[in-house]
Amino acid sequence: MFSARKVLLLGAAFVLGSALSASAADLYGGSIKDAPEMAPMPAASAGWYLRVDGGYNWFTTPGVEMDQGYTAHDTKLDGTWSIGGGIGRYFGRGFRGDITVDHLFNSNVSSEFCDCYGTASHAKFDFSSTVLLANLYYDFNRGGRFVPYIGAGVGFAHNETGAGTVTEDCGCEGTIGKGSSNSFAAAAMAGISWKIRGGETTYVGGLKDEPVAVNSGHAMYLDVGYRFLYLGDVKTGDITWDVAAPSVDPKLKDITAHQIRVGLRYDLN
């Protein structure tokens, strides 16, 4: 038979054991037998990124405006390469934005001029452009390995024309001076990004702490896409002839390009 003292000790041990079990359950968010449930957490969003891009550009036929009674036809603007870079930031909910600078290298321009007497002239000169754009994108699968995107941008272009030559069927020759101008620029783009390294997400936590998503950061993406680019206008220098003739200065209008671009994007955190 148990004495009253033994009964009290057993009762106290039972109460203490129950209290310890309850405390353990509170600490782990459930019973001792049940492991704490790791609720899924959204992947941490990266902050800033850097990018570098290169591509090839096909120009559409620009308009040509002339004075002194001249008209232009059969204008052609050859394709050219471009290179650029920029800095951007992720805004969350699939949106990101960046500021980019791209340089389009020299492209050959050829055009046929006719004066009011029907005399044909053959002109050749170079065109190049440096474009600054502020862009906004939407990523359709942010956090995935393959991320399709669309975007648009606005800014300005510094367009330049190089010195050139012009010859007439009659044998007269002339020179085209250099010219430059700043113009409004805009872009629309679409493509896909492939995460080639980094950016994995793991979950940490325990006891009373909620599980937290931790991103390894420093992800790198390969971007492949199409961009339609509007570059505006540019005026050449004057055309001067080796004989007495009116001086004219052609103007290329509404210059647009189709671009295929490949680039790398590197997350800074």
- Residue 235 has, within 13 A of its CA and on its CB side, a CA count of 9
d(CA 118, CA 123): 15
Domain residue ranges of the chain, discontinuous segments joined by +: 1-37, 38-267
d(CA 221, CA 52): 11
pLDDT at 62: 84
Question: Tokens standing for 21?
Answer: 């079990």
d(CA 48, CA 109): 39
CB 223 within 8 A of CB 53: yes
pLDDT at 177: 87
pLDDT at 201: 60
CB 142 within 8 A of CB 195: no
pLDDT at 58: 96
What pTM does this model have? 0.73
In one-letter notation, the amino acid at residue 199 is: G
Q: Would you give per-residue pLDDT tens digits along the chain (269 residues)? A: 445 444 444 444 544 454 444 444 444 444 444 444 444 444 445 589 999 999 999 999 888 877 666 777 778 899 999 999 999 999 988 999 999 999 999 999 988 877 666 666 788 899 999 999 999 999 998 888 899 999 999 999 999 999 888 887 777 788 888 999 999 999 999 999 999 987 666 655 655 566 655 555 688 999 999 999 999 999 888 877 776 555 667 888 899 999 999 999 999 97
Domain 38-267 has CATH 2.40.160.20: yes
Nearest Cα neighbor of 223 from 266, 163, 186 is 266
Tokens 């010195």 appear where? 163
pLDDT at 160: 96
CB 110 within 8 A of CB 146: no
DSSP class per residue in the chain: ---HHHHHHHHHHHHHHHHHHHHHHHHHTS-SSSPPP----PPPPP-EEEEEEEEEEEEPPPEEE--TT-EEEEEEE--EEEEEEEEEEEEETTEEEEEEEEEEEEEEEEEEEE-TT--EEEEEEEEEEEEEEEEEEEETTTTSSEEEEEEEEEEEEEEEE--EEEEETTS-EEEE--EEEEEEEEEEEEEEEEEEE---EEEE--TTSPPEEEE----EEEEEEEEEEEEEEEE---EEESSS---B--EEEEEEEEEEEEEEEEE--
- Dihedral of alpha carbons 4, 7, 13, 14, sign: negative
pLDDT at 35: 44
Q: Rounded to 5 degrees, what angle do the CA atoms 259, 260, 262 make?
A: 130
Q: How many CB atoms lie within 10 A of CB 44?
A: 16
